[in-house]
Structure 1
């Protein structure tokens, strides 16, 4: 129930709907009971068992409520009978129809109000899950499958709505239905009702045995669903490679193995779940059958119970079965919902290590320098950077070069605070970036990565990620600076052209120039360029390099470069090996040293 309490906080904004649902359910339970009781006068009239009473009975207290009810009914029927039997029957029919009509009206209203609550909770959980997913650091998702996260946001949240929140529907309605019915049954026959209570706990115990392992089975189903969604996501992302290497069978086999496990787990879960309803119904009918025997003795042998009342009593006893079945199904729903809630709350309850500290500073300008002071960092066990120090003065361009794995891209991740350093500090204008709000820190920076990350939207909307308030004229100007306007202006809808999933309707060079245009539109004082030209052909590289040079004018830049030809004009080139600086200086100074940088330049010249 702990998970249920945590999920219940999402229902607070919709408490008015919950109150209206409770009120509707109270009336539903009341009229549901009265609809069965209203059959009794009809039966008495039909069997002509109505005692003729012409003096209006008087109320003598709650202990004689049953006798008062019967006498008043007989008095009422006697009065109507004096006017003609047809009138009595018509009135009784109208009474029965009226009771059932009111019962169903309030049933609909209860469902109407709970719909807003359930869908509202569904919406709010999904919104909070998405916000949390965006808030959590990159390190969290490097260990998780994307498909599993997608399954939690889609399927698991839906499971909470279907099974977990069904308690909200049943928590008032079904118990009240049972309560009102039992009170009425007690009024009809105390002895018979006590007899019923002997069998109810036995039935409840047998039903509970069915659902014991439900959460475990449900958890397996949901985990497997996350796994095969991950395979689908990876397949769509790597379709070129799969087709190019004719690896369809490998991935097909992996997917089929996952769906086979899902098939097995789902069968086990649903068969156990499906056993709930017939089990509870069979046990209920068994109780009814025993009641028929015991009650029949009271009617036929002992003659202590009116036959009409006994028929109504049997109807009421059967009336308990529906809510009892619903409660038993809901208890299985809670177990299934528990597994889903556990997976959803695992994300929601995860505390991001990169949260803004209390009293974090909003920094809106950049004045002097970026300073990396004796920083050390590791992703897992081994340090990627060791006691690394570097100063990037305002207005300068600093390039980081070195072989793969030397720690260049790690510095970009740390300066933008996608990760926090393990030791040392990174400062902007003398202030530790951990003392700044993440938003204000990242607002000072523009990022262009090796992989052009674009979205399935128009060119305009992709660029507006950089500045939501930008006008079309500012967007076009940014495209011109990024050498992208030359191809955008020829597209069928210009900046309103949709570029497809991940921008795949465009070439690699075109995508990269749009990424640069997005950074230009943001117009930040600091630019982080993480191997922005390494994946391009020579012609595209020339255009992108020209765009980068346009963009870096009058800006502070940290350039992570694989192709050394792109950083020869940098104010400072830092050569890295295994997380440490081995050389630094301008291009000409490093060439004259005839060291590591010279070897890298020579190697690349030979490669080209």
Structure 2
């Protein structure tokens, strides 16, 4: 119930639409009750009074009643469904905004396809439930109340027989609904897995083709799809069982009314017209009640989806702004890690790491895979918070700064070139949205990207497609460097920015990086040691600890881990 109340909470801003729908619902319910009520006087006029004028008036009255009923039903349906659609739109907007505020760990712990499914499939399931339930409660509920009034007015004794079986129908409805809710959540989880498979396959289609994985991926998709079908099949089984059970139970009430009412008619205690009027109202009554109870199954599916959605909405980011942030302008570029430790879940990733860098310094982080280099890079912009020690910028712990103020000081060029399905100019502007085209062009020239941009069909206004698929690896990387140059942040993080490039592209990117690194505090993770030979300090990380610090020449002279990595790489590369 709490979950459903929370769903309805999102409908409050659209209360006027619901109010119009409620008024129209009273009109729909009122016409049904009026039709049932009019059966008795109509039969009396036809069979007892032999009134022939009724055959002239009745067709006209039927047309008018059903015309009014049709208009009211349209108004009711339109306004309640638009209200539910707007409410669901708000929920979808909020869950997307909430996801954007969550910390990086959440996205690493949850597959992209599962997150997409939660925003699309789960919210869509909620939409269906909200629309159907509110529609049922308004239209069918009002109709049922009106018809109950008619049957109690006609004959309270027969009405009690009718009413006795109604609470009984709620028992199987509740049990079936609970089962459907569980199955709905399982089906939505399977839908999330299907979305993950689609996302992985389509994103990595080149690898799928190169390794001839088509059959394997098709089989994986088929297995997951069939598992979802099995859950849906159970839901269908329970939903299909609901109506027959309802009809069997209500037939007991119908049988009781026919037996008891028929005896009263034969005894002269009840006229035939009154009895048929009661039967009409009773038969009409069971239909909306059956719809209301059937809607319970839809409610359970909706609540199952809503619980998954609200679980995401209730997630709190690990990294948040401090309650009393320190005012901070532009950084001088002084960065220090002081006795920093970090655990990821139960795994200790860093232990007592300390290092310093000032404006203009280039600090290179090297070490075996999994040593903790990328983690150090992630702690400076607070993608994660340290579990021990401090990360300081200009002597201030980064946890005391607003995230906006902190990230304004940092530019990131990652090994994974992230570009959006936008124009080249807008991709460069990501770090400085109000930059003029002249500023964008100047940054592109500094990144050695201007020439290839001008060769594109629409220059800077060329749309580069999803993830920049129309560009080469070196071109994508230079656009990312241009983006960092335009941002003009005093601290620069380079995470293996040239690791995936060929020699020619790497040469161009290195020239662009040289322009970017001028007068900035730079931290570099380098796959190729040849790119960091001239770094002011090289910090060697092994198993989460700093094991060596020095220049290239100093570290080679020590014959430690750096010398081992150096010899391995340069002997493999033929001394180049």
- TM-score class normalised by the smaller sequence: over 0.9
Structure 2 unmatched runs, 5+: none
Aligned length: 573
Cross-structure match for 1:534: 499
TM-score normalised by length of structure 1: 0.89
**Within 1, Cα distance between the matches of 2:243 and 2:327?**
59
**Within 2, Cα distance between the matches of 1:500 and 1:174?**
50
> Is the CA contact 1:376–1:421 (under 8 Å) kept in the aligned structure 2?
yes
> Is the CA contact 1:276–1:328 (under 8 Å) kept in the aligned structure 2?
no
Q: Deviations over 1:476-529 (max 9, x none)?
A: 222111111121111112222222222222211111111111112222121111
Q: Give SS of 1:119's match.
A: helix
Cross-structure match for 2:3: 3
**Within 1, Cα distance between the matches of 2:200 and 2:512?**
33
Q: Which moved more, 1:30-39 or 1:315-324?
A: 30-39
**Within 1, Cα distance between the matches of 2:176 and 2:371?**
58
Q: Does 1:125 align with 2:102?
A: no
**Within 1, Cα distance between the matches of 2:333 and 2:121?**
50
Q: Which moved more, 1:520-529 or 1:363-372?
A: 363-372
Q: Does 1:445 align with 2:410?
A: yes
Q: Give SS of 2:419's match.
A: coil
Cross-structure match for 1:14: 14
Q: Does 1:476 align with 2:441?
A: yes
TM-score normalised by length of structure 2: 0.94
**Within 1, Cα distance between the matches of 2:572 and 2:410?**
34
In the TM superposition, what is the alpha-carbon distance from 1:282 to its structure 2 partner?
A: 4.8
Q: Does 1:194 align with 2:163?
A: no
> Is the CA contact 1:38–1:96 (under 8 Å) kept in the aligned structure 2?
no
Q: Does 1:556 align with 2:490?
A: no
Q: Which moved more, 1:570-579 or 1:204-213?
A: 204-213
Cross-structure match for 1:177: 143
Cross-structure match for 2:426: 461
Q: Does 1:240 align with 2:206?
A: yes
Q: Deviations over 1:360-418 (max 9, x none)?
A: 34533102511211110122323221111111212322221222222111111111111
Cross-structure match for 2:195: 229
In the TM superposition, what is the alpha-carbon distance from 1:315 to its structure 2 partner?
A: 1.6
Q: Give SS of 1:533's match.
A: coil
In the TM superposition, what is the alpha-carbon distance from 1:285 to its structure 2 partner?
A: 4.7
Aligned pair partner of 2:179 in 201, 213, 220: 213
> Is the CA contact 2:80–2:131 (under 8 Å) kept in the aligned structure 1?
no
> Is the CA contact 2:333–2:490 (under 8 Å) kept in the aligned structure 1?
no
Q: Which moved more, 1:587-596 or 1:186-195?
A: 587-596
> Is the CA contact 2:333–2:520 (under 8 Å) kept in the aligned structure 1?
no
> Is the CA contact 1:532–1:561 (under 8 Å) kept in the aligned structure 2?
yes
**Within 2, Cα distance between the matches of 1:361 and 1:327?**
57
> Is the CA contact 2:338–2:354 (under 8 Å) kept in the aligned structure 1?
yes
**Within 2, Cα distance between the matches of 1:289 and 1:350?**
54
> Is the CA contact 2:446–2:515 (under 8 Å) kept in the aligned structure 1?
yes
Q: Which moved more, 1:592-601 or 1:560-569?
A: 592-601
**Within 1, Cα distance between the matches of 2:141 and 2:512?**
70
In the TM superposition, what is the alpha-carbon distance from 1:451 to its structure 2 partner?
A: 1.1
Cross-structure match for 1:26: 26
Q: Does 1:152 align with 2:118?
A: yes
Cross-structure match for 1:382: 347
**Within 1, Cα distance between the matches of 2:556 and 2:209?**
44
Q: Does 1:334 align with 2:299?
A: yes
In the TM superposition, what is the alpha-carbon distance from 1:560 to its structure 2 partner?
A: 1.5
> Is the CA contact 1:433–1:441 (under 8 Å) kept in the aligned structure 2?
yes
Q: Does 1:572 align with 2:572?
A: no
In the TM superposition, what is the alpha-carbon distance from 1:592 to its structure 2 partner?
A: 4.5
Q: Deviations over 1:51-108 (max 9, x none)?
A: xxxxxxxxxxxxxxxxxxxxxxxxxxxxxx7xxx54x543444334333332332222
Q: Give SS of 1:38's match.
A: helix
In the TM superposition, what is the alpha-carbon distance from 1:569 to its structure 2 partner?
A: 3.1
**Within 2, Cα distance between the matches of 1:180 and 1:458?**
60
In the TM superposition, what is the alpha-carbon distance from 1:420 to its structure 2 partner?
A: 0.8
- CA distance 1:15–1:242, shift in 2 (3 Å): same
CA RMSD of aligned residues (A): 2.1
Q: What pairs up with 1:104-503 in 2 under 5 angstroms?
A: 104-285=70-251, 287-299=253-265, 301-361=266-326, 363-367=328-332, 369-503=334-468
Q: Deviations over 1:577-602 (max 9, x none)?
A: 22222222333443444544344333
**Within 2, Cα distance between the matches of 1:285 and 1:493?**
73
Cross-structure match for 1:518: 483
**Within 2, Cα distance between the matches of 1:603 and 1:311?**
97
**Within 1, Cα distance between the matches of 2:171 and 2:545?**
68
Q: Give SS of 1:275's match.
A: helix
Which is greater in Rg? Answer: 1
> Is the CA contact 2:161–2:256 (under 8 Å) kept in the aligned structure 1?
no
> Is the CA contact 1:29–1:174 (under 8 Å) kept in the aligned structure 2?
yes
Q: What pairs up with 1:44-83 in 2 under 5 angstroms?
A: 44-49=44-49
